[in-house]
Amino acid sequence: MEREAAVIESLAAAQAVRNSNGTIIVQVERMAEYGSIDPRLVVIPRTVVDVVVKASPENHLQTCFPEYNPYFTGESKASERPFVRMPLNERKIIVRRAALELTTDATVNLGIGIPEGIASIAGEEGLAEKIILTVESGAIGGLPAGGLSFGASLNPEALISHPSQFDSYDGGGLDMAFLGLAQVDRAGNVNVSKLGSRIIGCGGFINITQGTRHVIFCGTFTYDGLEIEISEGKLIIAREGMHRKFIENVEQVTFSGRYAAEKGQKVLYITERAVFELNREGLLLTEVAPGIDIERDILSQMDFKPAVSESLKQMDARIFREIPMGLEL
């Protein structure tokens, strides 16, 4: 697997199939002479293999893209950590605010979707060497890739198995995690696993959120049609989304706000226009974007009324500028 971006749980799966009297078929890129491969590179030994299939290149992709990327495997190292600079839109506002939570040498998990943008901000702000970004597939360090290559990392420091990564996560090995949100209710519960008749599933969301000291949920305030503008450092809601995310009761509890509050976890809910903290009573509004009217743009777009902090403040003005923020850790 020397040209793979992740080894995931392939060995554990093969062992389980073997021990259950199943058949293990492995797909390879090339055939090699017996004994010519460094044994430290062998992930699945022949003791659990029944059939070997040599695949043509178009059927042996590294990710969902046809091009092989040596920066994903460590075969080559980029002299500069490449990243895609995000346009200044609602997604960048959210991840910029979220990035303000980063601390030096923190071990961090990034979820799929908007949280992927943390990697872009880390690259733009020159923070990649000061934090340890991880993804659940097993990559540690480097800059996690986004989109159809999510699960891989550019210039990873280590590639471990999926089960080993979760052994670390379950044991409290994460300092902070940035995850998406689809629905939030007054108790701080989050749903990302079931929306109407659409069953998405929990994935590793529960494992990650249960064992992490500082959890940051990232998502737009409303969805389906939301359009924003930024003028003179102020946020303008040009068109409100058709559907609300902050509702009375989530359809399914993927993350329990009450349980997190009892455990004393630090939990934030970051949107493009507002930031909430979790306390024992539920959500507390602590920050609003410059230019936002609290009643019109926040409270009237929620199915419940959150508590409002007595020290309510504006979100950092640097978030709403075209130039880098100049973050330092």
The DSSP secondary structure of 45-107, one letter per residue, reads -GGG-SEEEEPPGGGS-SSSSSS--GGGTTSS--SS---PPPPSSHHHHHHHHHHTT--TT-E
User: Given CA atoms 250, 251, 255, 259 in this order, what sign does their dihedral have?
Assistant: positive
Radius of gyration, CA atoms only, the chain:
22
Distances (CA, A) of 240 to 43, 75, 80, 270, 285: 50, 46, 39, 17, 20
The answer to whether 236 and 291 have CB atoms below 8 angstroms apart is: yes
Q: Which residues are catalytic?
A: 136
Kindly give the residue spans of alpha helices, DSSP state H, lying in 177-296. Answer: 205-211, 257-263
The answer to whether 159 and 7 have CB atoms below 8 angstroms apart is: yes
**Cβ atoms < 10 Å from Cβ of 33:** 6
